[in-house]
Amino acid sequence: MRRATVSEVSAQPSSPTAGAERVDLAAAYRLVAHFGMDDSIFTHISARAPDGEDGHGRFLINPYGLRFDEVTASNLVTVDLDGRLIDDPHGAGINAAGFTIHSAVHAARHDIHCVLHTHTVAGVAVSCQENGLLPLNQWSLQFHNRIAFHEYEGIALDLAERERLVADLGDAKVMILRNHGLLTCGRTVSEAFKLMYNLERSCRAQLALQSSGAPIHLPSEEVCQRTAQQYEGWDGEHPHNRPDVEWDAYLRLLRKIQPDFES
């Protein structure tokens, strides 16, 4: 298996009209940047390639070297699970560590459409805490007893790490990468983004509280469990084939401030 580190552009060009999957993925990149969750040209978000692009075993990811606020629907790279670049419109290839992490999840979790990974100050700080995210508030209770952990093994360039990463992830949608950062998975791009947005806010709130030095009041275990179940119940009552009004609101924001993301 060869790692994708250089550009290998396919003879088949990208579709001139970006599909909904590409638009949503480009939107996620712009939103991560807009809300201050990006890290220069590093970290990555991926989504399974649309069926019309022969999506079996292929996923979309950002071109290496672009800032998140430069990603568009048409410059996303298509790569397969063996690391072959099927379509590389920007000609820059992809982040090798990104391939390791994202190919691992897409190969193992067929229920997952989108994988989102960040290195924020708050996320990295909480990833370095022995107990990880604490059940402090309504945001963090969404994740109560629903976070997986993966030990740091260095920069993710060793493809052998993929087996350990997916074993640690199990059937979870949220993972703290110890001493590294955060990872969320979603059945849609929207779900992965919203999980990360709430996870990031939970980490920021935890650090703010810890730095205040004030005594910490924790909800009861019963309330923690019930709140987490309420979040899950909301998903059941609002299945992903219904209009996603929150995601629509985010798209309206981007169309107002960064309309080129759809190009």
* CATH assignment at residue 37: 3.40.225.10
pLDDT at position 262, please?
A: 95
Residue 71's φ and ψ, nearest 5 degrees, are -75, 135
Return the structure tokens found at 177.
């990468």
pLDDT at position 4, please?
A: 37
> 58: which strand partners?
80
Instruction: Provide the H-helix boundaries in 138-188.
Output: 138-141, 161-169
Cα separation, 97 vs 43, in Å, equals 9
Q: Tell me whether residue 256 is in a domain.
A: no
What are the residue ranges in the chain where pLDDT is below 50? 1-17
pLDDT at position 236, please?
A: 59
Q: Tell me whether residue 69 is in a domain.
A: yes
Nearest of 13, 22, 71, 74 to residue 44 by alpha carbon? 71
Q: Tell me whether residue 11 is in a domain.
A: no
Q: How many domains does the chain divide into?
A: 1
Cα separation, 219 vs 204, in Å, equals 18
Q: Tell me whether residue 167 is in a domain.
A: yes
| Helix (H) or strand (E) segment spanning residue 155 | none
Q: Tell me whether residue 249 is in a domain.
A: no
Q: Tell me whether residue 219 is in a domain.
A: yes
pLDDT at position 128, please?
A: 98
pLDDT at position 5, please?
A: 34
Residue 78 to residues 4, 81, 253, Cα–Cα distance (Å): 11, 10, 27
Model confidence, pTM: 0.89
| Helix (H) or strand (E) segment spanning residue 190 | helix 189-212
Q: Tell me whether residue 15 is in a domain.
A: no
pLDDT at position 240, please?
A: 58
Q: Structural domain of residue 113, as residue ranges? A: 20-240
pLDDT at position 50, please?
A: 82
Q: Tell me whether residue 202 is in a domain.
A: yes
pLDDT at position 92, please?
A: 87
